[in-house]
Chain A
């Protein structure tokens, strides 16, 4: 089925070809059938808000396609992007389990397919299917790991340059680029969004990119970034 946002919607989890690669979705037959019965497949355009920080939890959102920006916000409007969620992630999980308000705001940055499950249905599903419960524990562990990484980066990094260098090295280590001499990756976020990921201003990010390019550490080819001098970037990341 084609949706208005050009997404090829996966109507049934039972026939989804990618579920075996995804931590939460790779459930045994009975649990998968039970999940299929309680989920609502929905398509969202770019820029849709799935839930807002502070809102009482309605349920979980399994991201099937597209990416979602997870952020927190201060009273002065300053925003910090905690993570860019990728397909296969379950959003709103800890709030739905604990009953506490959502800790983050989730906003789509691509057209997305999301499977929504109401909180009561989800809690019942967890009680009835221990395998699913174990997978949820694994997902929560991953999220906790990411949150700790963020705490370390925000609390212990000395400068915006150090944080940006760490972020670029992390992105460059994906998609089999880690071992390459000059890893390359697509820069999918704006300078404003990168600034929100490392807790600095857009101007600082733009200045740092210009500085890294001038020093031949980075090279931009359209929206693709090439790390020309990995050693120099690592040195900046380790605050030396």
Chain B
């Protein structure tokens, strides 16, 4: 995406939101989210947040991709995954009020909607559909994280043990 591309300012006019789990909200919730968020166009290489930094809020990737990585004290870096359009980044840290677990760095010029932590908590308390959606997203994130643990820690795919359970 070029930096000249116009930013999709309003979520209400976004045609892609129907395909995106977090964005496909009821009208009232979407209007509220739209009034709370701010959108920006960020160049490739921008770090949206850094590991260890206290969570300020969440970042919804409208366009573009972001690399999520963790870093050791030695400087060695491990890319955990690549996030794509529609994903919400920094969700768990923003909810828990803890430092971000990873660093998110843009791989493309990207449009990002940001929502501060206070606004997010207020939004989720007011809109139960959004809160359910967030629970779903966090569950998906957790599945991915456990797959990473499995792949790094055991170097194998999941064992089909359930077939032996009655």
Contacts and interface: CB of A to CB of B under 8 A. Distances in A.
A210 B107 CA distance: 47
Nearest to A51: B165
A115 interface: no
A137 B143 contact: no
Interface string B120-159: 0000110010011011101111110111111011111111
Q: Which size class do A's interface residues fall under?
A: 35 or more
Interface stretch (A37-45, A61-69, A138-146): A138-146
B53 interface: no
Nearest to B138: A140
B102 interface: yes
A227 to B, nearest CB: 19
Given A74-B154, A147-B142, A239-B74, A127 B128 contact: yes
B139 A154 contact: no
Interface in A6-25: none
Interface residues of B, number: 49
Interface centre among A101, A104, A133 (most CB of B within 10 A): A133
A141 B91 contact: yes
Contact of B139 (A56, A97, A130): A97
Nearest to A157: B72
Interface stretch (A76-84, A168-176, A186-194, A212-220): A76-84
Contacts of A133: 128, 131-132, 135
A152 B70 contact: yes
Given A98-B143, A141-B95, A73 B159 contact: yes
Contact of A72 (B93, B95, B128, B149): B149
Interface in A72-111: 72-76, 78, 80, 82, 93-95, 97-98, 100-101, 103-105
B152 A151 contact: yes
A104 B73 CA distance: 29
Nearest to A100: B143
Contacts of B146: 72, 82, 103-104, 147
A151 B71 CA distance: 11
Interface in B86-104: 91-93, 95-96, 98, 101-102
A238 interface: yes
A134 B131 contact: yes
Interface of B: 70-74, 76, 78, 80, 91-93, 95-96, 98, 101-102, 124-125, 128, 131-132, 134-136, 138-143, 145-150, 152-163, 165
Interface of A: 52-56, 72-76, 78, 80, 82, 93-95, 97-98, 100-101, 103-105, 126-127, 130, 133-134, 136-138, 140-145, 147-152, 154-158, 199, 238-239
Given A55-B161, A142-B96, A148-B102, 19 more contacts: A54-B161, A54-B162, A72-B158, A75-B157, A103-B142, A103-B146, A104-B146, A126-B135, A138-B96, A140-B141, A143-B142, A147-B146, A147-B148, A147-B149, A151-B78, A151-B145, A151-B149, A152-B70, A154-B149
